[in-house]
Amino acid sequence: MIRLGMLFPKHLNLNGDFGNLEVLARQLEWRGHDAEIVELTKPSDFAASLHFVLVGHGSEAAWVDIEDEFLALAPQLRRLIADGVPVLAVSTGFARSIGAGIVSVAAPTPLPERVSRFSIVKDGDIDLLGYVNVDTDIPEFYRSDSFIGTALHGPLLSKNQVLLEQILIDTASKAGVELNPIQDAKKADQLADLIAEVWKLESELANE
């Protein structure tokens, strides 16, 4: 069983970031792998193996509610990253991960005004598409070892197939299995066509 964890799903799903986990779970199922999504709110939730973790985006009010509990989970998140488990942190989840010392990035500072726009950013040679909605200067995309931090919503993994494939491979590897291809070729083609349509529309908006 491949276990996908989400921190505080009742608080950190403001922009639909849970969709990243749903994409991963569905992709794994299409490839013949069993996957489950588990809630992570306390240190004991990390006792069983985890193969991917999402830190989603939440409002300031939501973070006030969970701030102490989140800081208590920072050692577990650092351990997972050191062990090579993929961790994706989105927007305020990324900013709070920086503040908790989970990842070493310059502390974000407030922007004069909120930035809300479609954006295309580089991850090496790969273009990534998403929607930015931030009020601090966090990097739009950052990668260090198995940690990925981003300001991109979308959900990110629903429209960036190369990144998704990389994370699927790494997630399956941590679970001790080799990632299978999608078993239904027609479904794979339909998905590729849909992603291409999204890219066509949203990349035009990003380039305006």
Query: Is 172 within 8 Å of 165 (Cβ atoms)?
Result: no
CATH number of the domain to which 72 belongs: 3.40.50
Asked if the model's pLDDT at residue 208 lies above 90, the reply is no
Q: How confident is the model at residue 168 (pLDDT cuts 50, 70, 90)?
A: very high
- What is the structure's pLDDT at 117? 96
Per residue in 106-123, pLDDT (tens digit) is 999 999 999 999 999 999
Rounded to an integer, the average pLDDT of 74-100 is 97
Asked if the model's pLDDT at residue 187 lies above 90, the reply is no
Report CA torsion sign: 59, 64, 70, 71. Answer: positive
What is the value of pTM for the model shown?
0.96
Rounded to an integer, the average pLDDT of 137-141 is 96
Rounded to an integer, the average pLDDT of 67-80 is 97
- What is the structure's pLDDT at 42? 96
Per residue in 38-50, pLDDT (tens digit) is 999 999 999 999 9
Please report, for residues 78, 81, 93, 99, the alpha-carbon distance to residue 74 in angstroms, rounded to integers and kept in the order given: 6, 11, 12, 10
Amino acid of residue 67: E
Q: Is 136 exposed, middle or buried (0-12, 13-18, 19+ CB in 10 A)?
A: middle
User: Please, which residues have CB within 8 angstroms of residue 48's CB and are 6 or more apart in sequence?
Assistant: 3
As a whole number, the mean pLDDT across the chain is 95
Rounded to an integer, the average pLDDT of 163-190 is 94
- What is the structure's pLDDT at 28? 97
Per residue in 13-71, pLDDT (tens digit) is 998 899 999 999 999 999 999 999 999 999 999 999 999 999 999 999 999 999 999 99
Domains of the chain: total: 1
Longest dimension (CA), the chain: 49
Q: Which range of residues forms the domain containing residue 134?
A: 2-206
Tell me which of 86 and 154 has the higher pLDDT. 86
Tell me which of 173 and 185 has the higher pLDDT. 173
How far from the centroid of its chain's Cα atoms is residue 127's Cα?
A: 16
- What is the structure's pLDDT at 85? 98
Distance between CA 89 and CA 58 in Å, rounded? 11
- What is the structure's pLDDT at 185? 87
